[in-house]
Structure 1
Amino acid sequence: MSWLQKLRDLAGKPKTPGLTPDTPDLRVVVAAFDPAVADSDVLESSPAWVTSAPAVLTHHLSLPAGRIAEAAGILAQDGYELREQGRDGDRVLAHAVRVQVLDALHCAQERARMAGLAQRLGGDALGWDARQPGDAPTASA
């Protein structure tokens, strides 16, 4: 295994044992669906977001049904799981999810990456949200 693959594997692993996209009692603490608003502004304006705690980052995508498997394979390389949410004609509404600590730079990079991926596959990146447990530690903890 190359050092780059090891680094990718580490980046995709949850930062807190036990936090997964299926952890009970997760709540949306920040959401960004307006491309005209900077991710840094979205994060700064969220009083519920705990900056030091990991979150489940969820990118909302609309993709052609025939490209879902391809998208899932590409996203899995960076630790994302693609979950189908429903269908709208020949489009699939899907969530790309992974656990990570959020910061403005990485949120902006991932938003741009999702937009590029969706565009290449003939779809759209609708926005993202992040969920943290209701008992997430406070920034001062």
Structure 2
Amino acid sequence: MNLLRYLKRATIKTGAVIFLLAYFNTGNTMETSNSSTPVTKSSMSTMTTMPRMIQACQLFLKDENTKDFDTGLCLGIIIGVEDNASYDKKICIPTETVMRQKVETVLTFIQNNPSLMNASFASNVYDALSPQWPCATK
């Protein structure tokens, strides 16, 4: 597959997954987790900070039915990273693996690697999932 076509596919699909999960997870209100203030461009720029994503993922573990925007973003990033890495056969998570296991794996990895707190959340997701569920080599 042409690299440019692949990059467009991966970026568009991941972006769509993240947006839709965050949007529909909030009951279509697009509010931030800590207030009723609508999400604006300036608040979007800090949306994926590590402490904020950790808190959002922890909220999912406390209540899997939460309708929090940041929790939807956490789940969307995990799903997007998994989807793109599985396409490249870099992560092979069994279909019976539930979202809770993936979130717990990511949070445990971040907790055990505090030096990576300044890395992007998506990078930490990949680094957490890839050794946990590697693809079998041929």
TM-score (norm 2): 0.25
Q: Which structure ranks higher in relative contact order (CA pairs < 8 Å, sequence separation ≥ 6)?
A: 1
Whichever structure has more strand as a proportion of its residues is 1
